[in-house]
Amino acid sequence: MLTIKNLKAGYYNGPDILHDIDLEVKPGEIVALIGPNGAGKSTVLRSIFNQAEVRGGSIKFIDDELTNLQTHQLINLGISFVPQGRQVFSTMTVKENLEMGAFAISDQKLVKDNIETVFKRFPMLREKTGQNGANLSGGQQQILAIARALVQNPKLLLMDEPSLGLSPKAMKEIFAVIKEINKEGVSLLIVEQNARAVVEIADRTYVLEMGKVALTGGRDILDNEKIKKIYFGQ
Ligand code: ADP
C-alpha cells in the first residue's frame, strides 16, 4: 500500500537526515517506527506528507508517487496525518476542529456525514461539540486530533507520537482506539517513544537509528539485545 524505497530526505539547506530508507505498510497493517530521539522518525512521516525535502528515492501509495504532492492531494488519495503534539485548535470548538479536518472535501453533505460518523464513533466528542479545544483533557484532545483525521476517511493514517504527554490511563485508551480504527480497515504507520506499547499493537516494527533502518521485526523485536539497551536500560 505504502512503499518507500531508498528515501533520502532533509530540511531546506540542511544535511541529509534520512539515508536510503526502505519501508513498507501493507493493506490492513499497523506498522511501528521506533528508535532514539533524533533518529529521523518524524522526518519519515513528514517526507510522506510533503513537510520535509525529499532528495532521492520514491514514496509510492498504491499507484501514485507522492513526492511533491500538496496536502489536499495526499488527503484525497487517502492519507491523513495526526501530527505530534495534537495541534488541536484551542480557541475553536470541537465541531469547528472537525470541520477544519474536512477542508479538502468539497461535498458538504459528505463532510456532514463524515462528522456524524466520528460523533457516533466517539460519543465524548458529541457531548463536547460546542466546547473549545482548550477545555479538553490531553487524552480528549488526542481523540479529537484522531477524529479530525478520520473525518477525511483515510486508508492510511500517519501518527506522530500519539501517546506523548498523556497519563497512563489516557495512553491505554489511545492505543485501544488505534487498534479499533485498524480493525475498521485503516492501515497505520505510527511513530512512538513508548516502544513497548506500540510494538505490542503493531504487526511489524522498524527501528531507526541515525537516519537508517537498523532493525525490522515483529513483536519479538523487544527481546532484541540492542532494543533492550536503548529502551529499557538492560
Ligand atoms: P525523531 O522523530 O526520531 O526524534 P526527527 O525526525 O524529529 O527525529 O529529527 C531528526 C533530525 O532532523 C534531528 O537532528 C532534528 O534536529 C532535525 N530536524 C527535525 N525537524 C527539523 C526541521 N523542521 N528543520 C531542520 N531540522 C529538523
Which of 16, 18, 21, 42 has most ligand 1 atoms within 8 Å of its beta carbon, as the pocket-test mutant?
42
Atom 14 (ligand 1): residue with closest C-alpha? Answer: 38
pLDDT reported for residue 220: 87
Q: Give the strands of the sheet with 156-160, arranged side by side.
A: 79-82, 156-160, 187-191, 30-34, 204-209, 212-217
Beta strands in the chain (DSSP E): 2-10, 16-25, 30-34, 53-61, 64-65, 79-82, 156-160, 187-191, 204-209, 212-217
Ligand 1 binding site (Cβ under 6 Å of any ligand atom): 11, 14, 17, 35, 37-43
pLDDT reported for residue 104: 84
Could you identify the atom of ligand 1 that is nearest to the CA of residue 37?
4
* Domains of the chain, residue spans: 1-78+157-177+194-234, 87-154
Which class in CATH covers the domain with range 1-78+157-177+194-234?
Answer: alpha beta
Could you identify the atom of ligand 1 that is nearest to the CA of residue 211?
10
pLDDT surpasses 80 at 233: no
pLDDT reported for residue 234: 58
Q: How far apart are CA 61 and CA 214, in angstroms?
A: 23
Q: What is the pLDDT of residues 125-162, one digit of tens each?
A: 999 999 999 999 999 999 999 999 999 999 999 999 99
Q: Which of 139, 141, 146, 218 is nearest to 182 (CA)?
A: 146
Could you identify the atom of ligand 1 that is nearest to the CA of residue 40?
6
Q: Tell me the percentage of the chain whose pLDDT exceeds 70.
A: 99
Dist. CA 109 → ligand 1 center (Å): 39
Dist. CA 216 → ligand 1 center (Å): 21
Q: What is the pLDDT of residues 186-229, one digit of tens each?
A: 999 999 999 999 999 999 999 999 999 999 999 888 888 777 77
- The label of the residue with cell 516502544 reads 195
Dist. CA 42 → ligand 1 center (Å): 7
